[in-house]
Amino acid sequence: MIEAVVFDLDGVIVDSEHVWDAAREAVAREQGGKWRENAQTDMMGMSSVEWSRYMHEVIGLKDPPEEISAEVVRRLEATYREELPLIDGAEEAVARLAERWPLGVASSSNRPIIDLVLELSGLDGFFGATVSSEEVEHGKPSPDVYLEAVRRLGVCPEQAAAVEDSHNGILAAKAAGMRVVAIPNRRYPPREDALTGADVVLEDISELTSDAVEGKN
């Protein structure tokens, strides 16, 4: 029986993977780094500690990782304050599931970004626990961020469902032992080997209902 639901943030609640990609690429080029075609794919799911280290060591930025991360976050915050790219139907889906279960967020975004998105969207009151992968040892596809989210919600992983859009996110939730509801990211679709591990695959977040979470559709 499902006793809690944990949402990913980027690609599920906000259409933001391309915003992260643009901010990182702009910082890399401005600081003389060598941007790689597969950089976005490489960094998807990484914690801020991991992707900022990647930009320092692989992309070749001279600034230390913590300064790289702070600059990218500054740009994301400015973009979101101007216009938050909420996914159509996300607010309604969160409210629907909150009527049935306690909710959490398990995100690769930096803590300030998670808090800002939930504040600007007005969704902060729906979530009993929010976890950034910078607060755990490993980012996705490791299960750490999901395990911490369910721990804070006070449920076992096997009693929780995760809502995910990305390849590494699906793998992370599955590795945590959770029921996985996948809503594939259209810009950066997960590979088939991840999708086959999902318990439910939806076309759109408008299909995210309590019946879908429990597999009753």
User: For residue 196, how many other CB atoms are within 10 A of its CB?
Assistant: 11
Q: Among all residues, which ones are annotated catalytic?
A: 8, 10
User: How far apart, in whole angstroms, are the C-alpha atoms of residue 141 and residue 72?
Assistant: 22
- The answer to whether the CB of 20 falls within 8 A of the CB of 76 is yes
Instruction: Give the rounded percent of residues in the chain with a pLDDT score beyond 70.
Output: 100
* pTM confidence score: 0.93
Third-level CATH fold of 4-15+85-214? Rossmann fold (3.40.50)
Output the pLDDT for position 42: 87
With a cut of 80, say whether residue 217 has pLDDT above it.
Answer: no
Check if CATH label 1.10.150 holds for domain 17-82. yes
Residue-wise pLDDT tens digits, 31-90: 999 998 889 888 988 889 999 999 999 999 999 999 999 999 999 999 999 999 999 999
Kindly indicate the confidence band of residue 188, based on its pLDDT and cuts at 50, 70 and 90: confident
With both helix axes pointing from N to C terminus, report the angle between 65-82 and 17-30 in degrees, rounded to the nearest 10: 130
How much is the pLDDT for 145? 98
Q: Report, in angstroms and rounded to the nearest whole number, the Rg of the chain calculated over CA atoms.
A: 16
pLDDT score at 171: 97
Quick one: pLDDT at residue 67?
Answer: 96
For the chain, the structural domain boundaries read 4-15+85-214, 17-82
